[in-house]
């Protein structure tokens, strides 16, 4: 699995489709010379584009599909129209059949999530997948999940997210013991949503080989207080978009301020190198890509509005996870957790029986 990775790409996905995916794949090819691509989509669009990237063409196979999923289609519509025949479906299906180690799509998030779930199925004990995002922080990067795959999560699902996110952090950040926190409105154990408090109790008591930090708050995301931040999809999605919006807002303030006077313009020119570094740090493209966790296969979701560079970052993320054999590791961790939990329950049952005997 480590060498000669094959990557399935939904070449029709994203606001700009193949015009963005093909050059993006070419950037990824430069980084990983031993990679192969399966490009799913309209060959009349893909093949002429590939001619411009002969080295990419040499390591790619085009699989023609007739249907492309609309970016704003509802998941149910997408499934009706795109089952078996769409580029997105076939790209995901290539992972199921072992033809590819992972799939990357910049297409419709809801459709990708539903198709991936139908095709790859969720792992044992997992009801619903989570979408994990890479979050830039003052300490480096963290993983935040769920950022919007599903809405609401009970305490068991939050613990599953913690187990999956922790395994991903080991793979993607090469950490031995990532620190895991639960997103809440206060650090004290008595505060917050019942599901979150209960998940905290489970994580403390579960005896998992995991460094559980406790609760974190919204401002801990940017600080990088923990390596993995666990939350349910509604709050996670709003936190992610709030941070993106705030970054854009400050960039706009900065742009306005620097173009206000002659002095500030000269200052800007002198400090151009510094601004370039700042821009890179704030560039959402450098950390583009979320991953659906909890499925029997690696599915990477790139931003729909990204460019070739951002798409290549999403491919990077998938390659890191495939090389680390993330799916096997997550399956093992979940088995260890849920296996242990079942034993505990059996223990409780015994206890109950003993009490019953004593009472009767």
Query: What is the DSSP-derived secondary structure letter of residue 49?
Result: H
Helix (H) or strand (E) holding 254: helix 233-258
Looking at the Cβ atoms of 238 and 336, the one nearer to a second copy is 238
Among 98, 219, 358, 360, binds a second copy (CB under 8 A): 219
**Residues 13, 304 contacting (CB under 8 angstroms):** yes
Tell me: does residue 77 bind a second copy (CB under 8 A): no
Q: Considering the complex, what minimum distance in angstroms separates the CB of residue 110 from a second copy?
A: 9
Among 32, 53, 173, 275, binds a second copy (CB under 8 A): 275
Q: Considering the complex, what minimum distance in angstroms separates the CB of residue 232 from a second copy?
A: 10
d(CA 97, CA 89): 12
Q: Which range, of 7-15, 111-119, 122-130, 266-274, touches a second copy by CB under 8 A?
A: 266-274
**Residues 334, 341 contacting (CB under 8 angstroms):** no
Tell me: does residue 305 bind a second copy (CB under 8 A): no
d(CA 181, CA 174): 18
Q: Which range, of 12-20, 156-164, 238-246, 352-360, touches a second copy by CB under 8 A?
A: 238-246
Q: What is the largest CA-CA distance in the chain?
A: 91
d(CA 244, CA 183): 18
d(CA 40, CA 83): 14
Tell me: does residue 261 bind a second copy (CB under 8 A): yes
Query: What is the DSSP-derived secondary structure letter of residue 67?
Result: B
Looking at the Cβ atoms of 138 and 357, the one nearer to a second copy is 138
Q: Which range, of 44-52, 207-215, 256-264, 294-302, touches a second copy by CB under 8 A?
A: 256-264
Tell me: does residue 277 bind a second copy (CB under 8 A): yes
Q: Where are the beta strands (DSSP E) in the chain?
A: 6-10, 36-41, 60-64, 102-105, 130-137, 140-145, 179-183, 211-216, 228-230, 290-293, 298-301
d(CA 69, CA 87): 8
Size of the site for a second copy (CB under 8 A): 60
Among 45, 73, 282, 336, binds a second copy (CB under 8 A): 282
Tell me: does residue 200 bind a second copy (CB under 8 A): no
Q: Where do runs of H (alpha helix) occur along 5-86?
A: 18-31, 43-51, 54-58, 75-82
Tell me: does residue 233 bind a second copy (CB under 8 A): yes
Tell me: does residue 235 bind a second copy (CB under 8 A): yes
Among 61, 127, 244, 348, binds a second copy (CB under 8 A): 244
Q: Considering the complex, what minimum distance in angstroms separates the CB of residue 177 from a second copy?
A: 24
The binding site for a second copy (CB under 8 A) comprises 74, 136-138, 148, 151-152, 183, 185, 190, 192-193, 217-223, 231, 233-235, 237-250, 252-254, 257-258, 260-261, 263-264, 266-275, 277-278, 281-282
């Amino acid at each position: 699995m480590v060498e000669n990775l094959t990557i399935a790409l939904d070449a029709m996905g994203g606001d700009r489709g193949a015009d963005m995916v093909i050059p993006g794949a070419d950037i990824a090819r430069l980084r990983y010379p031993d990679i192969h691509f399966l490009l799913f989509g309209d060959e009349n669009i893909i093949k002429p584009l590939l001619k411009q990237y002969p080295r990419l063409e040499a390591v790619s196979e085009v699989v023609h599909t007739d249907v492309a999923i609309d970016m704003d289609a509802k998941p149910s519509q997408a499934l009706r129209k795109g089952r078996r025949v769409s580029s997105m479906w076939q790209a995901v299906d290539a992972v199921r059949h072992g033809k590819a180690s992972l799939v990357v799509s910049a297409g419709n998030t809801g459709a990708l999530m539903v198709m991936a779930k139908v095709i790859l199925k969720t792992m044992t004990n997992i009801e619903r997948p989570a979408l994990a995002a890479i979050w830039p922080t003052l300490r480096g990067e963290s993983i935040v999940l769920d950022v919007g795959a599903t809405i609401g999560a009970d305490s068991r699902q939050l613990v599953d997210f913690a187990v999956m996110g922790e395994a991903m952090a080991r793979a993607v950040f090469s950490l031995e013991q990532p620190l895991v926190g639960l997103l809440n409105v206060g650090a004290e154990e008595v505060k917050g949503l019942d599901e979150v408090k209960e998940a905290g109790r489970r994580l403390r008591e579960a005896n998992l080989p995991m460094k559980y930090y406790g609760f974190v708050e919204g401002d801990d995301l940017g600080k990088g207080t923990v390596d993995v931040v666990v939350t349910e999809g509604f709050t996670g999605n709003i936190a992610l978009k709030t941070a993106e919006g705030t970054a854009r807002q400050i960039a706009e303030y900065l742009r306005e301020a620097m173009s206000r006077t002659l002095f500030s313009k000269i200052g800007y020119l002198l400090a151009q190198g510094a601004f370039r570094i700042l821009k890179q740090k704030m560039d959402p493209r450098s950390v583009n890509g979320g991953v659906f966790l909890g499925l029997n296969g690696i599915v990477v979701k790139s931003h729909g509005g990204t460019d070739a560079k951002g798409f290549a970052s999403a491919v990077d993320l998938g390659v890191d996870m495939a090389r680390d054999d993330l799916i096997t590791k997550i399956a093992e961790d979940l088995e260890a957790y849920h296996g242990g939990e079942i034993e505990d329950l059996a223990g409780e049952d015994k206890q109950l029986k003993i009490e019953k005997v004593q009472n009767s």
